[in-house]
């Protein structure tokens, strides 16, 4: 494992989460899944912890119970080449009960926050022309899913 590995705390749906994430992202796999035994403290056979890889990033996770739900204080950013990638990841991460937010943010059905961001957004927000960068910012603030064509239109009007 790398020196720093994100560790995620799920309520009791870790195995479903692993299947969800590894099905969405390429270069993903299930690693080790540890289950309770007769020694407890959980029900024998239930998942207690696991390791998995999502798009090359390794994770450790546990089924820890409802004490510590996810918040927007931690999110994962998906860097997308184009609108097709934005649309794919946006829809897939929302599948099964996720919630849209704004500026390219969403929460998946497990409550984990994601930022689905096209490369073009970063370019436009850093445009050397302050008026164009401001137009891109205003356009982004009005969006849930980032739409590159709408950003381009907003910037072209400056």
The string of DSSP letters for 82-109 reads: SHHHHHHHHHHHHTTT-EE-STTEEE-T
Q: How confident is the model at residue 31 (pLDDT cuts 50, 70, 90)?
A: very high
DSSP H or E run through 77 = strand 75-80
Q: DSSP letter string over 113-142?
A: EEEEEEHHHHHHHT-SSHHHHHHHHHHHHT
Give the mean model confidence (pLDDT) for residues 12-33.
Answer: 97
Mean pLDDT of the chain: 96
pLDDT of 99 above 70: yes
Domain ranges (residues) in the chain: 1-68, 70-158
Pick the CATH number of 70-158 from 3.10.180.10, 3.40.50.150, 3.40.190.10, 3.40.50.300: 3.10.180.10
Pick the CATH number of 1-68 from 3.30.720.100, 3.60.40.10, 3.50.50.60, 3.30.70.20: 3.30.720.100
Give the angle 35-36-37 at the CA atoms, nearest 5°.
Answer: 115
Please state the φ and ψ torsions of residue 147, each to the nearest 5 degrees.
-115, 110
Which range (12-26, 37-51, 79-93, 116-130) has the least confidence?
37-51
- The answer to whether 105 and 114 are in contact (CB under 8 A) is yes
pLDDT of residue 1: 63
**Confidence (pTM):** 0.93
Give the mean model confidence (pLDDT) for residues 70-85.
Answer: 97
pLDDT of 2 above 80: no
Q: How do residues 36-72 score in pLDDT, each as one tens digit?
A: 999 988 889 999 999 999 999 999 999 999 999 999 9
């Amino acid at each position: 494992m790398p020196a720093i590995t994100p560790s995620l705390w799920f309520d009791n749906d870790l195995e479903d989460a692993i299947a969800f994430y590894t099905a969405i992202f390429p270069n993903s796999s299930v690693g080790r899944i540890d289950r309770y035994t007769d020694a407890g403290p959980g029900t024998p056979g239930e998942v207690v912890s696991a390791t998995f890889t999502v798009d090359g990033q390794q994770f450790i996770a546990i089924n820890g119970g409802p004490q510590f739900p996810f918040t927007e204080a931690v999110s994962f950013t998906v860097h997308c080449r184009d609108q097709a990638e934005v649309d794919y990841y946006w829809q897939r991460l929302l599948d099964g009960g996720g919630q849209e937010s704004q500026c390219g943010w969403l929460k998946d059905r497990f409550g984990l926050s994601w930022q689905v961001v096209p490369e073009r957004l970063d370019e436009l927000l850093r445009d050397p022309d302050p008026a164009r960068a401001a137009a891109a910012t205003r356009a982004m603030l009005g969006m849930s899913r980032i739409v590159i064509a709408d950003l381009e239109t907003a910037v072209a009007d400056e």
